[in-house]
Amino acid sequence: MTEASVSFAGNLTDDPEIRYTAAGIARAMFRVAVSGRREHEASFFTVVVWRDQAKHAAESLAKRQPGRGRGPAPTAELDR
């Protein structure tokens, strides 16, 4: 079965935040605001990147810069 994915383009809402795991693996997290079809409608995506991509994101991205992303579509488990 093929996993659904989502692609988006927008502007970063904050500078990327980089942290390291106990094992020394870099992880950067940032949010991207995406305008909807209507001017007052927006969606926000939290982006997490690891290792070299995390270091690159922390060094080269900043708040209000355009950003693009693609990844697995979010899923929710239904309570039964």
Number of domains in the chain: 1
Three-state SS letters, 20-48: ECCCCCEEEEEEEEEECCCCCCEEEEEEE
Residue 11 lies in a domain: yes
pLDDT value, residue 70: 84
pLDDT per position as a tens digit, 15-45: 999 999 999 999 999 999 998 777 678 888 8
The band of 76, judged by pLDDT with boundaries at 50, 70 and 90, is low
Which range marks the domain in which residue 47 is found? Answer: 7-66
Residue 76 lies in a domain: no
Reply yes or no on whether the pLDDT at 5 is more than 60. yes
The band of 68, judged by pLDDT with boundaries at 50, 70 and 90, is confident
Residue 46 lies in a domain: yes
